[in-house]
Structure formats: C-alpha cells, structure tokens
Amino acid sequence: MNLKTMDTASLTLLWGASVHNPEFKKAIEEELKLRIEKNKNFSREYFFKVCTINNHAITLKFIPTSNSFKNYGEHVTITIILDANEVKELMNNYSSDPPINTYGQLKAKLLVTDDHTPEQIQNIATNGFNTGDIFEVLTTSLKFPSK
C-alpha cells in the first residue's frame, strides 16, 4: 500500500483504524505530517470572506496529528477573531487583482464549546489554529445576527 498516492481522507480513516498496528499508524502519521507542511487548501483570506464578509460560522475538521487536532480535537465550530491591522491586510489581499492568498495562524472564537475546556476556548482565541492543519471545512447557511 503506497500511502503517498492516497488522499488525506483515506489516510485519516486508516489512521483512526490502525489502533492495533503501531508501525503502520506511525507511517501514516509521517505522511500526514508531510501533508500538513504543504497544505494550502484554505487561505486566511478564505476565512476572512466566509466569516467576516459573509458573516457565517464555519466548522473545521483538523488533520489527525496536527497541532490543532492535538489542541482542540477533531473539529471546531468557529468564527475568526481579527484585529484592525489583520482586517486591513486581509481586505487588501482579498480585493487585490489577482487575489493574494496567505496561510498561517488565525485566532478564533469557539461557537460550540460543549466538548472543549475553558483552556482550549482561551487558547484558540489567543493562539489560534494553523490553516495548514485543516482537512475539511463545512460552512453553514446561517448568518450571525447583525452587529
């Protein structure tokens, strides 16, 4: 079985099912680590558009073994937290022709906190998550109430 040719979804399923095969699980973890380092599927500007411009909540599923997975679990439902400088930067990038996409850390407010500790809630608000740690994004059609 060639792990390099498998998609991230398949690797995630195999990782979860390889509880009794530590060598295989370690090999999957090494491949997932490489995927995290190269992951450019979701930019900071994408989250700016969905959460700030469109005013939508978003659910993130993290790649197993990623720092975000270790810190917050398999998934979180959030909106992003931006300071004035970040809003300006992301608006400029989003409005550029062609648009500029950047990757890295984003701070977030957890909207569903049932499965998270107060420390996790605070950590994601102050330290955030890395866009490279994201496996899948689910957006909701529900908008936040007007501010």
- The model carries a pTM of 0.88
Helix (H) or strand (E) holding 135: strand 134-143
| Residue 140 clears pLDDT 90, i.e. is over it | no
Give pLDDT tens digits for 62-106. 999 999 999 999 999 999 999 999 999 999 999 999 999 999 999
Side-chain-side CA neighbours of residue 99 (13 Å): 12
Burial class (CB in 10 A: 0-12, 13-18, 19+), 137: middle
Q: What is the pLDDT of residue 139?
A: 80
For residue range 108-135, what is the model confidence (pLDDT) as tens digits?
999 999 999 999 999 999 999 999 999 9
